[in-house]
Amino acid sequence: MINVLFAAHSSRWPQYEGPLRAAFKAVGLEVDLREEFAPEDVDYIVYTPNSPLTDFTPYTRAKAVLNLWAGVESIVGNKTLTMPLCRMVEPGLTEGMVEWVTGHVLRYHLGIDACLAAQDGTWAPVFPPLARNRRVGVLGLGELGATCAGALAALNFQVAGWSRSEKFLDGVTTFHGADGLDQVLATSEILVLLLPLTPATENLINADTLARMPQDVRILNPGRGALIDDDALLAALDAGHVAHATLDVFRVEPLPPDHRYWAHPNVTVTPHVASETRAETASETVAENVRRGEAGEPFLYVVDRARAY
C-alpha cells in the first residue's frame, strides 16, 4: 500500500478526492489517500503552496512533493523541502491558457474594445490588418508559453518568442538572452507574459523595458503578477505609451478594491481566471508521477531548484 498525503489546502479535498482515487486505480496503484498521516508513514505529498504544511522535515520517507499548481516560487526556497518537487503540467491547464491568450490577442487585434465602446449610433468602420501582418511577442517558452505561441502562429500571427535559453518552435521566430529580449520587446505590438517568477524575471517589465516597446503596445499578463513593476506600467499607461493592458495575475490577490488598475480606463482586470488546474486531468499527472516513483522511473516536471522553476 502506498500512502499519499493530501496536504493541499483543505478546500481542494472535495474537488480532488474522487478524481485522485480514480486516477490511482487507472494506473494500477493501491493507494491509501488521506488528509492526515503520521509524517513518518507518508510516501508522497500532494501539495499547494497555500497549504498550512511548511515544515517537511518529519516526512523522512516521502519520495516527492507533487504540486497542484504550475507556480512554485513561494515554495522552491523552503529549506526543509529536500525531496524532489514536481510542478503541475496538465492538459486542462494548458488548454485553458491557450484559450485565454488567443481570445485576448484576437480581441486586441480586431479592436473589439473600440467596437464595444462605440455604440452611440455613429457608423465608423475601422478594419484591422490581417493576422499575418500583426506582430505578437511571447515572453516565456515553457509548456504554456510554447503552446500559446504555437496556437497564435497557427492563426497566422507573426509570433516572436523569447526564453532564457535557446529554443526552436515551428512557426515561431525564437530569441534568447539579453539581445534577444531587446528584439522581441522592440517589435511586439501585442506582448504576452508567460514567464516563471524568479529573481531574474521579477520586475522584468519596468520603466526601462517598457520604453523599449513600440508606441501603443498592448500587454497581456496571465503569467505572474510580479513580472511587472506596477508603478512603471501605470506611468506608461498614463503617458499613452502603452495603449492597454489586460492583467490576470497580481502581486496581492485578490487585487485590493482601491488599486489603480481597477479604475484605469486602459486596464482590464481578470481575476486570475486565465487558466485553472482541472481536478480530473491534474489527478492523472499526480498518479503518473506516483507510478513512476514506485517503478524507479524519473519523475515528470521536476523543479530545478537553481532556476526556481
Total residue count of the chain as it appears in this document: 309
| Contact call for residues 66 and 47 (beta carbons, < 8 A) | yes
Going by C-alpha positions, the residue among 187, 185, 192 that lies closest to residue 245 is 192
| Alpha carbon 42 to its chain's center | 29
Q: Which three cell numbers stand for residue 88?
A: 503541475
Tell me the C-alpha distance between 249 and 223, whole Å. Answer: 7
Tell me the C-alpha distance between 20 and 18, whole Å. Answer: 5
Q: Which three cell numbers stand for residue 43?
A: 510516501
Do strands 158-163 and 217-221 pair parallel, antiparallel, or not at all (unpaired)?
A: unpaired
| Contact call for residues 199 and 193 (beta carbons, < 8 A) | no
Going by C-alpha positions, the residue among 6, 49, 1, 40 that lies closest to residue 286 is 6
DSSP line for 35-59 = S---GGG-SEEEE-TTSS----TT-
Catalytic residue numbers, as ranges: 224, 272
| Contact call for residues 66 and 286 (beta carbons, < 8 A) | yes
| Amino acid symbol at 259 | H
Tell me the C-alpha distance between 190 and 213, whole Å. Answer: 10
